[in-house]
């Protein structure tokens, strides 16, 4: 399968997910709230894993602000990243032009 097509499909799925998360909720949920609704112990395990691998600074400086953002923002960001990668990984073939002058 073409990598460009796979990235485009991933971007489409992420856009649909972002729109669904953003419009189907009565109140915009934070990502941490959504993860806690899926699995109540997931945020605590995520904090313990981040502290073990990277230290407490990763939890306080990176993950806590991310978990406070709206839940639709993560799939929207991943969609933009996938679109950028799909556009940069093009299937263009380079042509061999002679540099000599006639």
| Domain count along the chain | 2
Tell the burial category of 47 from Cβ atoms under 10 Å away from its Cβ (0-12, 13-18, 19+). middle
pLDDT of amino acid 82: 93
Residues with Cβ within 8 Å of residue 43, at least 6 apart in sequence: 32, 35, 36, 67
Tell the burial category of 21 from Cβ atoms under 10 Å away from its Cβ (0-12, 13-18, 19+). buried
61: in domain: yes
The model's pLDDT over 17-44, given as tens digits with 9 standing for 90+, comes to: 999 988 887 788 888 888 898 889 988 8
58: in domain: yes
Domain span including residue 84: 1-28+71-88
Same domain, 19 and 42: no
Same domain, 65 and 35: yes
Beta-bridge partner residues of 30: 70
Residue 94 has pLDDT above 60, yes or no: no
């Amino acid at each position: 399968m073409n990598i460009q097509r796979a990235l485009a499909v991933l971007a489409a799925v992420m856009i649909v997910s972002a729109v669904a998360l953003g419009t189907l909720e009565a109140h915009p949920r934070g990502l941490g709230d959504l993860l806690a609704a899926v699995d109540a112990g997931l945020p605590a395990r995520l904090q313990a894993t981040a502290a073990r691998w990277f230290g407490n600074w990763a939890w306080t400086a990176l993950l806590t602000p991310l978990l406070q953002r709206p839940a639709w923002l993560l799939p929207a960001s991943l969609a933009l990243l996938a679109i950028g990668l799909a556009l940069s990984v093009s299937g263009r073939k380079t042509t061999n032009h002679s540099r000599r002058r006639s």
